Amino acid sequence: MENYGVVVIGAGPGGYVCAIRASQNGLKTAIIDKQWLGGVCLNVGCVPSKALLKNAELAHTLRKRTKEFGVSFDNLNLDYSAAVKRSRKVSKRLTRGISFLMKKNNIDVYMGAAHITGKNQVTVHPEDGNDEILDTKNIVIATGAYSFTPSVWKQDGKRILSYQDAILQEHLPESVVIVGAGAIGVEFSTIWNAYGTKVSLVEMLPNMLPLEDEEVSIELAKAFKKKGVDVFTSHKVETIETNDNGVSVKISSNGEEKIIEAEQVLVAIGFRPNSSGIGLEDVGVSLNKNKFISIDDRQSTNVPGIWAIGDVTGKLLLAHVASTQGILCADAIANKETHPINYKMVPRATFCHPQVASFGMTEAEAKEAGHEIKIGKFLFQANGKALGLAEGSGFAKIITDAKYGELLGAHLIGPEVSELLPELTLAQRMEMTAEEIAHNIHTHPTLSEVLMEAAEAVNDSAIHM
């Protein structure tokens, strides 16, 4: 039996970061995972998908834009399996790095299923070997979430896929229906479309990326349709049936039905928490109606000494949110001063093409909240760096409070906007105004000048539009 100050269950971006900070805070720390260090994000999620998206960018350029760049060749051969293998190498390199960080920070790693067998005790069930009992003053639950597929659709990993099936398969489908136009749906649309797959994207709500500002969603739909993706918003999937040739998907809208035939279906409609089967009920940890773990601003559950971070809390299912929660939690355990996370102002990014990035209120949300608003908008087509990159579509949109100049939100679509967003979130955090952003000198020629011009546009002072 081992005694710890902190035992973290789950080694994803929330769990391993929490463990490192707990160790840095002088607490004897252990981490448990039943499958892999790095969690979904590093192994089968955000990291390997970005490698695939880089390959997709090259594939799209070679297939569709060579004349524009003055390049010609014969017999283009695109090996999709090589792209998947490269993505696996990227993933493995980073997960080896997590293993190194655990050793560097003197964190004990246990591989196996964890079960909370008491308020201060966790039992580890390894695949091979005997159970191990860990006594601890604090338990941090970082077990994440899993992709949800209705059982009636009979996900089989061959015809009907989850995101994990999709990211690991080396086979490039000739045609695919993607159910759900959230981040996973639009990113895989980008990847497969770039390689020539016939993609049909089905979304039940009126817009792609339905949580984003409506203008962004409309711009993204235009870009996807231009690339040949069939986009079916406001459509419900009625049935998915497999056959000898692939799948038959029945969709409906306003009483009209349509059948889409394809080789595969990717289901990307949402996530459920990994909160069952780990003993939460036995120790009285409260869950909300959707089975996410209820927490306070310090990541504490209703049971003293038991904490929760990451996707299993349902706050905002993003890796960087989990990591931030992990640091906050470890500091709270060490009785350090902590600051609550303002989830509305957390940056969000979707790595489709064109990229989408945002934080804060949409235009509609700001109006609904009663704000009198001012908006500054600037197009990438008027930005020299964007045109030099041949990426002139999209825009930056900044929303401010008309009375006080407060930054209420920003919504970007275009080249590398995920890298531009931190300037705006830092400005919001430091209570800067759009005028102060505009007065900051931005290097020329850079994409960041779009932010300066959008900030100027809030007060109708943009120079190049």
Q: Both tokens of residue 456?
A: 């100027």
> Shortest CA distance to 246 belongs to which of 186, 205, 200?
200
> Shortest CA distance to 375 belongs to which of 345, 334, 349, 407?
407
Q: How many CA atoms lie within 13 A of 175 on its CB side?
A: 12
Q: Both tokens of residue 107?
A: 């964190």
> Shortest CA distance to 4 belongs to which of 140, 117, 144, 125?
140
In the annotation, is 115 catalytic?
no
Each residue of 336-374: b (16+ CB within 10 Å) or e?
A: eebeebeeeebbbbbbbbbbbbbbbbbbeebeeeebebb
- For the chain, the residue count is 465
d(CA 161, CA 149): 9
Give the containing element (helix H, strand E) for 84: helix 80-104
Out of 235, 320, 371, 444, pick the active-site residue.
444
- Cis omega before residue 445 (within 30°)? yes
CB atoms within 10 A of CB 256: 8
For 433, the 3-state DSSP assignment is strand
d(CA 198, CA 247): 14
d(CA 361, CA 400): 10
Provide the CA 90 distance to its chain's centre, in angstroms.
18
What's the CA dihedral at 316, 319, 320, 323 to 10 degrees?
100
Query: Which residues have a catalytic role annotated?
Result: 444
